[in-house]
Structure 1
Amino acid sequence: MKIGSSKILYIDSTQAGIAGDMFLAAMSDIVDIDMKVLADAVCESTPWCKKLDVDAVDGFKNKFRCKEIKLALEEEHAHKRDGKDVINAVLKSGSKLSLSDKALEYAKKVVETLLWAESRIHGKSMDEVHLHEIGSTDTILDIAGVSYALDKLGVFKKDIKVYGSPVAVGGGYVEMRHGRVSVPAPATLEILSKYNYPFIGGPVYDELATPTGVALLVNIVEKVLRYPPLIKPLKVGYGGGMKEFKSVPNIIRIVYGEDDEIPFLHDKVYVLETNIDDLDDETIGYTLEKLYNEGARDVSIIPVTTKKSRPGKIIKVLCDEDNYINLVKILFDETGTLGVRVYPVNRIILKREIIPYNVVLSGKQYKVNIKVAKDNLGRVIRVKPEYSDLVYISKKLKKPLRIVREIIYEDVRKRIERV
């Protein structure tokens, strides 16, 4: 990621989950939304809507300020509404709001995600599903409203990265038309499963994540992070839900910001560490090789003094977040250690690329891959010829490796400085 070049939207639903109205409320705390325009567009586009008044008001949850969506709704309570009716209502609402094509596509995809979940639960095609809560006007309002807010912020037009936290789903049971079901509700669980979106139970014994909320979430988040990203916050939106909990403010938090303005790249890796004082060097070497083969970015063996003044070693591994569990297992299996320290770290790094160069030595032409490291301003910080290429040329010319390296490095450095 290029720092300073893009904006970030971070959706934090780890505290109290997510619902459509909470998402809309939090977005209204970040970007100005004309709620009358939104309500009129939705009601005029929804055949079963008779009257709809909407407002985003300041409220409090456990003494924490937030925005809350308040609505007065009159609608026809038709028993059956199919998916096409809902999609048409959402798209017509979006057209009246002058949403971009990408925003309309997002809104449609959210409805299709809900329809897919219902069809999977009831074993029917999406065209056969009978909609109840999903077909209500307030659901259409949530979908059209969130799409409207994201579009106004520029999410669908600009270079804005959207990250999300794991979502809290609560616990216990929820009463539905078809009876009492476990939390998360079946539709919610199906959506999270389809998109491989991580969730966590609690922190209260109630339903925290609704199908509409998670459908809006999974279709906009590009990457799920266990911790907030490196971000310079510009605005923070707080959206309150309808329920009241004694122990937890029923609030979703959305942070809009930008990358830190330094001329380098950054990424996040996981560090795994374990202390070893009773393992032979051959087994340690084998473990190191296996860690690399299984995707470790880097492995270090650090000499230390352990308990009772015994000499020992720290095996330190750098890896990607999605691979650390596998590498922890290798450390347990191969070393017999009793524990592994695991923690995420942010790294500031240089942009690296491999550039093939042709060099002429002793009248012959050779190809050498050069690793070039630059900052985001384009300044070359370091160049390094590929070791295996240097070895090949050294053997062919029967010249010392250090001499070959110096000649090639000097030649490459001059060429890069001229570029």
Structure 2
Amino acid sequence: MDELQRKMEPILEQTLQEGKLYRQINALIVAYLRDYNLTQAASAVASATMTPLNVETPPYKLIDLVAKGLAVEKDEMLKGGVPSAAFLDSGAVMPVTYGSIPAPRTVAVDFGAVHDTKGSSKSFPKHETRHVSEHKNLARCARFSLDGRFVATGSADMSIKLFEISKIKQMMLPDANTRDGPVRPVIRTFYDHIQPINDLDFHPQSTVLISGAKDHTIKFFDFSKTVAKRAFRVIQDTHNVRSVSFHPSGDFLLAGTDHPVAHLYDVNTFQCYLSANVQDLGISASINQVRYSSNGDMYVTASKDGAIRLWDGVTANCVRSIVGAHGTAEATSASFTKDQRFVLSCGKDSSVKLWEIGSGKLVKQYLGAAHTQLRCQAVFNETEEFVLSIDEQSNEIVVWDALTAEIVTRLPSNHIGAPRWLEHSPTEAAFVSCGTDRSVRFWKEIL
């Protein structure tokens, strides 16, 4: 594990410095637009990024840096250098806007600061929904890209569908199909698995989508290629791959499998690491879900034994076990809040719970939605003001106020049979639901 720690520490440091880098980039863009008398554009960018319009930078610094960077890149290519995303072997790339600067996230709710919140529940905005596509078998999972521009769904029919969010919204307009023919929001369909797909994730910077499936594989798809249907790289695991999660750097990924400990892979070498204290844990249950924290210094697993476990992102050692988090029922999902102080979990005991990471204490409990059969998810909305999950008995999407834990609305799912999966956009008031009825539905706030 010393080798893994040595490799991870500079990556974590780099991740923590990204905020400073983004501020520097924003300042250079504002100064460039201002210096070229593009005042309106400069003001718009300054306002959107909270950058002073009169920011001081050397004249035309951005052009100078870009010119030097292009020269270095050209020189490296002539010398046979390898691009930073070494695992990408494709020539085509998406526009540089994809994954370069994730959309700003709203400041997380401070659950630790609020004590008496009863009677102060917020109203969940009204949403409209639309059936946007259908798989040939159960729609089992979904995932948004970090910038919120894409969502992918995986199915028991072994296919993956990639949607462009802007096209889904266009499809939902009243006159969408009367101008230039029907709008088709599915921009890619991938076929390369031989058993049902369990989970998906997007690379944080590159146009790569990964999938984990029952065929014991993790497959890499380059969605910049318009005609590619199959994976360009494959990791062959030893177990059913139930969940996948990219490290924020994109250089590592986690696989939650039927093995009790998550498998950590180096994306460039495919070398696999396991926890150094695996023999001391004494666990044998499969992992239903694994997710990294936003800066990658921790990850969490939700297991079939009902436990939630927190792991050090550098050493891969288990640092806290919340045994019986969902009693003897399976823990089906777990994810971090944006401030990385809490974990939201869901289980087949029909409960959704919020845990404080530092103490392992239960902070909030969201009750009133029955889920005992499916691998249900509990998710925050993009501002973390609300929690969403499924009621299997009523076939409704239940929404709680995240602070008061009171149910604020129940939305008819419009699926035939309860949805299997919910996934909320990280950037806007929109989410998708995937159903046992094979359908994929998109939900967005009514403005």
**TM-score for the superposition, normalised by structure 1:** 0.23
**TM-score for the superposition, normalised by structure 2:** 0.22
> 1 or 2 for the larger relative contact order (CA 8 Å, sep ≥6)?
1
In terms of Rg, which structure is larger?
A: 1
